[in-house]
A and B are shown apart, each in its own frame.
Chain A
Amino acid sequence: MYEVVSNVIIAPSIHRMEVRAPRIAAARQAGQFVIVRCSEGGERIPLTIADADPEAGTITLMIQAIGAGTAKLAAIQPPDGIRDVAGPLGMPTEIENVGKVVCVGGGVGTAVLFPLAKALADAGNHVTTIIGGRSEQFVILRDELAEFCDEVIVTTEDGSLGTKGFVTIPLGEIIADPEKRPEAIYAIGPVPMMAAVAEQTRPSGIHTIVSLNPIMVDGTGMCGGCRVTVDGQVKFACVDGPEFDGHLVDFRELATRQQAYCDDQHCRMTDAMENQE
């Protein structure tokens, strides 16, 4: 059992959870994830490690309660625990000082982006972070990011905070400005957002890294469910990724594969909510 140390709601349906997992806290690097299982018989849910405190032996997870499994996970309060936490999984991000970088986060993807932006800033990069959400209340981690980023730009679809529209608007302005043009762009969020950013940066050839979240079971390369096509080659996101060159990823295939069990999950969410009532 892995003890839940804290569980705080930071935006609608988004929880920040600290979990005691000393081995993972010690080993984990930016870009890696864990697979958690709430209880006996539960699903295995992949989640990026947002942060870790090796001395306290804890890791931080950001959970968006969108399905039955994540809803159940987000409901766990201290001092209860999570049955299984396995990781860290995936290849760590290659962190280098390349000069100027732009980090683009959409929705809960911002949570995934957070440790990456921090590591890039720690490595001495000039970090501009663009975060987007549906409206003000869905914009997460703005203040936390501002602590180490050189600039934080916010977009909301309804204009309730920052620029009205999508993250691609400020990104387009940055790319177009020779003074600001970054050496690398990291985009993490929903598949359509990552695909849009990759298309936007393709003409300029700016290195664009995306972090993929396909369906997976074990997270150790065994099942092959997380296979994605990158540059015409089949890659396993859990072993070869989760980060890939955004210009080479087949996003259309990824988007359709992610929908494989949507009806199923939809039904189960309904069931789970009925059970709670």
Chain B
Amino acid sequence: MSDQPLTPKERMAIGRTTMPEQDPAKRATNFEEVNFGLSYEAAVQEAKRCLVCKSRSCVEGCPVAVRIPEFLEALASGDVAGAAEILRVDNALPATTGRVCPQEVQCEKVCVRGKKGDPVAIGWLERFVADWAAENMANPVAPDKQTGRTVAVVGSGPAGLTAAGELARMGHSVTVFEALHDSGGVLRYGIPEFRLPKKIVDAEVACLESLGVKLEFNVIVGRTITVTQITEEFDACFIANGAGLPMFLNVPGEQLKGVYSSNEYLTRVNLMGAYKPESTTPIARGDNVVVFGGGNTAMDSVRTAKRLGAKRAIIAYRRSREEMPARIEEVHHAEEEGIEFMLLMSPLEINGGEDGWVKSIRLQKMELGEPDASGRRRPVPIEGSEFELEAQVAVVAIGTRANPILSSACPDLKLNKWGNIEIDDNQMTSIPGVFAGGDIVRGGATVILAMGDGKHAANAIDRYLQSK
């Protein structure tokens, strides 16, 4: 099945493939996945574009350091199973990252093919291999040699699941405590079905369970059990309890019915299935839905609103397009689906009717001024530019702050001034044997950065356990 390796010139001659996707007009009315995934032929052909260069900058560009050239080479030779073996060892959630990673600022950004032309479509290939493995390969099993050491992981989001998978592969006994009734954290409650089908999350979690990872649901660490209890029962602990409390705009009218945090809006739809006809979970719908924010969560919310039947689904973002933190593909997909972008626009007030529901939003236009602390140009209001926009639903997607539930029950845990957990270079907290990572440390980042923390912490925990 393996051809002769191609020469660099032959590899250079192959153009980047395209991702087959649902027609925008059709997909804006359903919750099925936007991208269909590559065919075997397209994937193998795309893998051949990799020059297997010596610099291996893509590996450095990957927060979990997937051996990208190796898996691409296996795939290019038609050995999908070999590619999958490499991928599964390096990445606990490959079908997920293949879908939600911002590859354009990571592996694909530094790909040498990108210097002249398009980088190798690493993300799409990762997705192809992971999906192929889920369908054609047995789930990995726990190593024969068990260490007898126990590790508790707090939270089953991307950081927690990654750490759990890594630690299980090392032969440690891992128990994951999850506050909600299902696994995945933001992968389940936050990222919509059309971007990350929940059967993918189910399959990834099943892989981890097959490795021996135990999951216990409905356990809120800090309330059901404390970190102190965990340290008494387990040899080490990894805290990855996630993003926490949604921030609001602090404008008048934010308590009106029809105003949601993106967390609530997406949780109702994704975790609780409000988009399904048979669901018992209510969700407010309206002709005009305005989403505040410019990140991936804002894009997920506004595209969800469109699918729930909004005639106008609008992003209102106070900076310009260049500052939007969302993945390029998401913005592109949103535009194709007819999402309106009101850029350089800031909310002043949400107005309601006598029934207590949202009726309109008062907005003000902004212009870009001098750079602020984040290095981005600060938006400055334009006097006299205020106007009223009719809306029935408003979704606030401007970030989160640290959840205090775990830390308030654990006074020994050192926090920074924002309430995020402080860690050392080994991701260990102020409590020996207790490590932390993901959004509770970073204060809000991406799936893959959280996964990088999980992997890094797992290695540090392994060293810690060996030194004990």
A43 touches B272 (CB 8 A): yes
Q: Residue of B at shortest CB range from A229?
A: B255
- The CA-CA distance from A41 to B268 in the complex, in Å, is 12
Query: How would residues 201 to 218 of chain B score, 1 for a CB under 8 Å from any chain A CB and 0 otherwise?
Result: 000000000000000011
Given contacts A41-B273, A84-B181, A217-B267, contact A224 B248 (CB under 8 A): yes
B280 touches A222 (CB 8 A): no
Residues of A within 8 A of B273 (CB): 41
Query: How would residues 76 to 95 of chain A score, 1 for a CB under 8 Å from any chain B CB and 0 otherwise?
Result: 00000001111111000000
B267 touches A218 (CB 8 A): yes
Minimum CB–CB distance for A212 against chain B, Å: 13
Residues of A within 8 A of B244 (CB): 221-222
* A20 interface hit (Cβ, 8 Å): no
Residues of B within 8 A of A253 (CB): 255
Residues of B within 8 A of A227 (CB): 248, 255
Q: Residue of A at shortest CB range from B246?
A: A224
Residues of A within 8 A of B267 (CB): 217-218, 222-223
* B53 interface hit (Cβ, 8 Å): no
Given contacts A27-B224, A86-B220, A88-B224, contact A220 B405 (CB under 8 A): yes
* B179 interface hit (Cβ, 8 Å): yes
Residues of B within 8 A of A43 (CB): 272, 280-281
- The CA-CA distance from A223 to B268 in the complex, in Å, is 9
Q: Residue of B at shortest CB range from A262?
A: B282
Q: Residue of A at shortest CB range from B401?
A: A221
- The CA-CA distance from A241 to B217 in the complex, in Å, is 23
Pick from B223, B248, B282, B404: contact of A265, CB below 8 A: B282
Residues of A within 8 A of B356 (CB): 256-257, 259
* A247 interface hit (Cβ, 8 Å): no
Residues of A within 8 A of B272 (CB): 43-44, 217
Residues of A within 8 A of B242 (CB): 222
Q: Residue of B at shortest CB range from A67?
A: B280
Query: How would residues 34 to 50 of chain B score, 1 for a CB under 8 Å from any chain A CB and 0 otherwise?
Result: 00000000000000000
Query: How would residues 356 to 373 of chain B score, 1 for a CB under 8 Å from any chain A CB and 0 otherwise?
Result: 100000000000000000
* B219 interface hit (Cβ, 8 Å): yes
Q: Interface range on chain B: under 10, 10 to 19, 20 to 34, or 35 or more?
A: 35 or more
Residues of B within 8 A of A222 (CB): 189, 242-246, 263, 267, 403
Given contacts A87-B224, A222-B246, A229-B255, contact A41 B279 (CB under 8 A): yes
Q: What secondary structure prevails in chain A residues at the interface with B? A: mixed
Q: Residue of A at shortest CB range from B216?
A: A23
CB-CB contacts below 8 Å: A223-274 with B: 223-225, 227, 229, 234, 236, 239, 253, 256-257, 259-261, 264-265, 268
Given contacts A42-B280, A89-B223, A239-B245, contact A224 B179 (CB under 8 A): no
B257 touches A257 (CB 8 A): yes
Pick from A84, A218, A236: contact of B217, CB below 8 A: A84
Minimum CB–CB distance for A189 against chain B, Å: 22
Q: What secondary structure prevails in chain B residues at the interface with A? A: loop
Q: Residue of A at shortest CB range from B284?
A: A260
* A15 interface hit (Cβ, 8 Å): no
Query: How would residues 267 to 300 of chain B score, 1 for a CB under 8 Å from any chain A CB and 0 otherwise?
Result: 1100011000011111010000000000000000
Residues of B within 8 A of A83 (CB): 181
Residues of B within 8 A of A225 (CB): 260-261, 264
A223 touches B261 (CB 8 A): yes
Query: How would residues 51 to 88 of chain A score, 1 for a CB under 8 Å from any chain B CB and 0 otherwise?
Result: 00000000000000000110000000000000111111
Residues of B within 8 A of A86 (CB): 179-181, 217-220, 224
- The CA-CA distance from A202 to B332 in the complex, in Å, is 56
* A120 interface hit (Cβ, 8 Å): no
Residues of A within 8 A of B180 (CB): 86, 218
Minimum CB–CB distance for A230 against chain B, Å: 12
Pick from A68, A85, A234, A257: contact of B280, CB below 8 A: A68
What are the 7 A-B residue pairs with the smallest beta carbon separation, nearest first? A223-B264, A86-B218, A256-B356, A261-B282, A224-B261, A84-B181, A264-B282
- Given contacts A27-B225, A222-B243, 17 further A-B pairs with CB under 8 A are A37-B181, A41-B278, A44-B272, A69-B280, A86-B219, A87-B223, A217-B268, A217-B272, A218-B179, A218-B267, A221-B405, A222-B245, A223-B267, A224-B245, A224-B248, A227-B255, A257-B255
**A-B contacts, 8 listed (Cβ < 8 Å):** A24-B224, A41-B278, A86-B180, A89-B220, A218-B180, A222-B246, A236-B245, A257-B257
